[in-house]
Each structure stands twice: as structure tokens, then as C-alpha cells.
């Protein structure tokens, strides 16, 4: 299975979000490191799933999008 390459773009950097989430759950230091690495590895696969899902959705024109988001 091909996975999306994640570059070092800040827009795609979820490290802080992941850490804040795990810290709020009071994981031990060892658990925190394990969970963080595990979550970080899963991000490219998650992007691939989102992309495939989006490809299955019907294409909208500008008017349909405006109606959908209430403009």
C-alpha cells in the first residue's frame, strides 16, 4: 500500500496536538513516548484514507459549495 509522504510543512505538523492530547490523559513518560511514536506513524495512512474517501465524493461546482456551506 502506497502511503503519503509528509514533509516538514508546519501545516501538517501535528506533534503538538498529539502530545497535548496524550499529556491530558496522564500517560506515564514511557507510555507517552510509545503512544506518540505509534500515532505519528499512522498519520500518512490516515491521509491516504482521507484522500481516497474524498475521491469517492461527487465533485461540486462553486454554486453547490456556496450552498453547502451557507454562503
Backbone angles phi, psi at 45, to 5 degrees: -65, -40
Mean pLDDT, range 8-33, rounded to an integer? 85
Task: Please check whether residue 5 lies inside any domain of the structure.
Answer: no
- More confident: 20 or 6: 20
**Number of compact structural domains in the chain:** 1
pLDDT in tens, 28-68: 999 999 999 999 899 889 989 999 988 888 888 999 989 98
Q: What is each CA distance from 44 to 31, 61, 64, 70, in whole angstroms?
A: 22, 29, 30, 32
Backbone angles phi, psi at 68, to 5 degrees: -60, -40
Domain extent, residue 51, equals 14-69
Task: Please check whether residue 9 lies inside any domain of the structure.
Answer: no
DSSP 22-67: HHHTT--HHHHHHHHHHHHHHHHHHHHHHHHHHHHSPP--HHHHHH
Task: Please check whether residue 4 lies inside any domain of the structure.
Answer: no
Amino acid at each position: 500500500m502506497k502511503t503519503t509522504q509528509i514533509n516538514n510543512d508546519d501545516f501538517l505538523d501535528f506533534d503538538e496536538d498529539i502530545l497535548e492530547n496524550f499529556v491530558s490523559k496522564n500517560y506515564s513518560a514511557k507510555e507517552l513516548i510509545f503512544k506518540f511514536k505509534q500515532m505519528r506513524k499512522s498519520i500518512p495512512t490516515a491521509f491516504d484514507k482521507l484522500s481516497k474517501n474524498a475521491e469517492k465524493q461527487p465533485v461540486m461546482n462553486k454554486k453547490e459549495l456556496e450552498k453547502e456551506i451557507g454562503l
